[in-house]
């Protein structure tokens, strides 16, 4: 029985930020066991004991796997993403996932939030502009990810080695090393040329990240160990790409360039902390119900 | 790839927040290992995959949620098999939890039509009531730590305990000779069922809401999401959202005697050991 004179404690606010499923098809149970069901169990539990919950997520709809699949199906990327967003939404509603908001990375709001964060990092001096060698589809000018390039392995001679590794000898490769490089599944040629990009200065945060991870002895041991290993060897990470499907780079000279976009990992990672324009308040507990989903490209 | 995702949460995103300078870092990272399919890794390209839609076209969402949470890859890679899915549904959801609910509600409804008024309780009654109430705290602690399997296994173990109690007390026999004692036992069991319902609601929201109504409550403890059209900057897209109120419900049951009980229905469906058709394992 609730006592009328009982003082109601201040409600705790809990942000639950499950991974954003990649809009490349309907969900299988290996996906939802990671990103969806545990998050919903936590959200329902927290609400039952009186916490205010914000569980926010959405479909992650940019990136080369989407444009590649869209091309294969002969439809524009947006149509391909629309189709898969609808399938994923149905799966999640039928499973009873109580998202406060489940949106998409192709909304105007998402573009704004991503660009704001990009500018903050830029103004803070954490984005480095530099040239790198990129692989392109000679016909469309579109960038080609390593694993969409095939050729002869320079080490073992296997004719169908991929740009990132040879499945025959197991060696890690660079696309430029391949003999007679061509696009996966066709003879279309690959063009290598210099391209200007922004890199996120990850090493600048090495010490701070290490200290922060070490502080968290409450994390699962596997998570902590893997993260500490990762921080030991940080490299600057490209934050823009040669793409026509994505969030435009909010800088003069870049903004209107139809083939330069913010790299999908940054676009996607941005969503995990901010949704629908709402941000976690001070004193908020943030939970990251994650993940087996092989959804982040 | 699953482990690669971890660094998005523990390294990339925190570094961005540090760089942007004004957001709070996450407190807790929950990561799990891989779920495999009949001994092999899930793979869409090899057709080695079970789609959510195909499962839900045949089975209840709670059966899938239960299986994924109790047998999922929380701490180590696990293997999905249809025989395990069916076994867990039949032996655990149906035979343990469903059976406890059924025996308790059918006997209370048939003999009293309402929550019976308890007479004098025995030490065994009190012990059981206390143990199940304590489980509310234990399950909350486990969920707080994102130890889902510990939480769920404990709740199910408690359900088994109440089943043993009913088997010992046999209120369906006692009712013929000692109506007051039978009423007391059923009252104790109903209180336990009500508490277990609270613990299981996050895992089994669909069946828990039905059970909530069968216990004579009229409010919503397990709200469900809905799809709405959301307009912004001249375009419109579908979003999942819902009205989910924060409630103070994670509290010991105070089920009052005399509350009217509607006719009970089965909570879960028993599944055939071997589906007649090919299970939706691959396309
Ligand atoms: Zn090779």
Structure confidence at residue B2 (pLDDT): 47
- Spell B97-131 as b/e; 16+ CB within 10 A means b: bbbbbbbbbebbbebbeebbebeeeeeebeebbee
**CATH code for the domain of B187:** 1.10.730.10
CA of A169 to the centre of ligand 1 (A): 4
* Contact with chain B for residue A280, Cβ under 8 A: yes
CB pairs under 8 A between A and B: 301
Higher pLDDT, A62 or B206: B206
CB atoms within 10 A of CB B228: 11
Give per-residue pLDDT as tens, A254-272: 888 877 888 877 776 665 5
Whether residue A104 is predicted with pLDDT greater than 60 in this model: the reply is yes
Would you call the peptide bond into A42 cis, given omega within 30 degrees of 0 as the criterion? no
- Comparing CA positions, the residue from A100, A94, A92, A3 lying closest to residue A51 is A100
Contacts of residue A45 in chain B, CB cutoff 8 Å?
140, 143, 202, 250
Q: Which of B239, B254, B280, B281 to mutate to test the interface with A (most CBs of A within 10 A)?
A: B239
Structure confidence at residue B40 (pLDDT): 53
Give per-residue pLDDT as tens, B83-109: 889 999 999 999 999 999 999 999 999
CA of B3 to the centre of ligand 1 (A): 26
The whole-model pTM stands at 0.81
CB atoms within 10 A of CB A180: 11
Q: Is residue B282 part of a domain?
A: no
Nearest to B31 among A31, A41, A223 (CB): A223
Give per-residue pLDDT as tens, B114-169: 999 999 999 999 999 999 999 999 999 999 888 899 999 999 999 999 999 999 99
Contacts of residue A17 in chain B, CB cutoff 8 Å?
26
Bridge partners (DSSP) of residue B41 are: B36
- The sign of the dihedral angle between the CA atoms of B273, B275, B280, B283 is positive
Contacts of residue A223 in chain B, CB cutoff 8 Å?
6, 10, 29, 31
CATH no. for A13-110+271-292: 3.40.50.620
Strand locations in chain A (E): 13-16, 52-59, 101-104, 127-137, 149-152, 161-162, 179-183, 190-200, 237-238, 240-242, 260-262, 285-289
CA of A155 to the centre of ligand 1 (A): 5
- Spell A11-41 as b/e; 16+ CB within 10 A means b: eebbbbbbbbbbbbbbbbbbbbbbbbbbbbb
Structure confidence at residue A270 (pLDDT): 60
- Enter the tokens of residue B138: 């234990």
Q: Is residue B136 part of a domain?
A: yes
CA of A186 to the centre of ligand 1 (A): 20
Q: What is the mean pLDDT of chain B?
A: 87
* Contact with chain B for residue A189, Cβ under 8 A: no
Q: Provide the number of structural domains found in chain B.
A: 1
C-alpha–C-alpha distance, residues A292 and B72, integer Å: 10
Nearest to B55 among A29, A237, A295 (CB): A29
C-alpha–C-alpha distance, residues A269 and A271, integer Å: 5
CB contact under 8 A, B250 and A50: yes
Give per-residue pLDDT as tens, B229-261: 888 777 788 999 999 988 889 999 999 999 999
CA of B229 to the centre of ligand 1 (A): 51
Residue-range domain boundaries for chain A: 13-110+271-292, 113-268
CB contact under 8 A, A91 and B52: yes
C-alpha–C-alpha distance, residues B25 and B23, integer Å: 6
Q: Which of B43, B142, B225 to mutate to test the interface with A (most CBs of A within 10 A)?
A: B225
Whether residue A200 is predicted with pLDDT greater than 50 in this model: the reply is yes
CA of A187 to the centre of ligand 1 (A): 20
Our CA-based measurement puts residue A48 at a distance from the nearest CA of chain B, in whole angstroms, of 5
C-alpha–C-alpha distance, residues B101 and B93, integer Å: 11
- CATH class for the domain made up of A113-268: mainly beta
Q: What is the DSSP letter of A12?
A: P
Confidence of residue A281 (pLDDT cuts 50, 70, 90): very low
CA of A69 to the centre of ligand 1 (A): 27
Structure confidence at residue A243 (pLDDT): 80
- For residue B149, the chain A residue with the least C-alpha distance is A38
Our CA-based measurement puts residue B142 at a distance from the nearest CA of chain A, in whole angstroms, of 11
- What domain range includes position B69? 32-263
Per cent of chain B over pLDDT 70 is: 84
């Amino acid at each position: 029985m609730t006592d009328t004179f009982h003082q109601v404690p201040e409600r705790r606010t809990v942000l639950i930020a499950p991974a954003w499923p990649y809009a490349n098809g309907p969900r299988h149970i290996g996906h939802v066991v990671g990103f969806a069901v545990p998050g919903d169990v936590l959200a329902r539990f927290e609400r039952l004991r009186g916490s205010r919950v914000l569980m926010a997520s959405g479909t992650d709809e940019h990136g080369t796997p989407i444009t590649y699949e869209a091309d294969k199906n002969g439809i524009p990327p947006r149509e391909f993403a629309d189709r898969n967003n609808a399938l994923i939404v149905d799966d999640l509603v039928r499973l009873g996932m109580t998202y406060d908001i489940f949106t998409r990375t192709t909304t105007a709001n998402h573009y704004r939030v991503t660009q704001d964060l990009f500018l903050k990092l830029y103004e803070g001096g954490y984005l480095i502009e530099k040239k790198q060698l990129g692989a392109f589809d000679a016909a469309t000018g579109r960038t080609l990810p390593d694993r969409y390039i095939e050729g002869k392995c320079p080490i073992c001679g296997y004719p169908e080695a991929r740009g990132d590794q040879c499945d025959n000898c197991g060696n890690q490769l660079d696309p430029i090393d391949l003999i007679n490089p061509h696009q996966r599944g066709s003879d279309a040629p690959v063009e290598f040329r210099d391209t200007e990009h922004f890199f996120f200065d990850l090493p600048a945060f090495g010490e701070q990240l290490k200290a922060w991870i070490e502080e968290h002895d409450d994390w699962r041991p596997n998570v902590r160990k893997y993260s500490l290993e990762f921080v030991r060897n940080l490299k600057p990470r490209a934050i823009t790409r040669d793409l026509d499907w994505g969030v435009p780079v909010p800088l003069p000279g870049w903004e209107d360039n139809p083939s330069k976009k913010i790299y999908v990992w940054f676009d996607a990672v941005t969503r995990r902390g901010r949704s629908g324009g709402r941000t976690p308040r001070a004193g908020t507990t943030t939970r990251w119900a994650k993940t087996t989903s092989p959804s982040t490209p | 790839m699953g482990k690669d995702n971890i660094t998005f949460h523990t390294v990339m995103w925190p570094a961005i927040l540090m760089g942007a300078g004004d957001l709070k870092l996450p407190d807790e990272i929950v990561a799990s290992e891989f779920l495999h399919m009949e001994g092999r890794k899930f793979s869409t390209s090899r057709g080695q995959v079970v789609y959510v839609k195909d499962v839900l076209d045949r089975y209840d969402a709670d059966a899938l949620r239960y299986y994924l949470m109790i047998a999922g890859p929380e701490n180590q890679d696990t293997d999905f098999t249809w025989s395990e899915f069916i076994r867990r549904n039949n032996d655990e959801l149906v035979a343990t939890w469903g059976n406890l609910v059924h025996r308790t509600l059918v006997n209370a409804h048939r003999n009293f039509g309402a929550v019976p008024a308890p007479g004098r309780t025995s030490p065994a009654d009190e012990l059981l009531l206390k143990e199940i109430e304590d489980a509310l705290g234990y399950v909350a602690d486990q969920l707080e730590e994102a130890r889902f399997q510990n939480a769920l296994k404990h709740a199910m173990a408690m359900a088994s305990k109440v089943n043993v109690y009913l088997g010992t007390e046999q209120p369906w026999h006692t009712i013929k000779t000692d109506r007051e004692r039978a009423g007391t036992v059923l009252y104790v069991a109903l209180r336990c069922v009500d508490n277990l319902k609270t613990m299981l609601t996050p895992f089994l929201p669909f069946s828990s809401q039905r059970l909530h109504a069968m216990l004579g409550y009229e409010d919503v403890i397990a709200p469900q999401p809905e799809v709405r059209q959301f307009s912004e900057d001249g375009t419109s897209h579908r979003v999942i959202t819902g009205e989910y109120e924060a409630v103070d419900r994670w509290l010991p049951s105070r089920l009052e005697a005399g509350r009217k009980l509607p006719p009970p229905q089965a909570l879960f469906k028993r599944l055939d050991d071997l589906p007649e058709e090919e299970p939706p394992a691959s396309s």
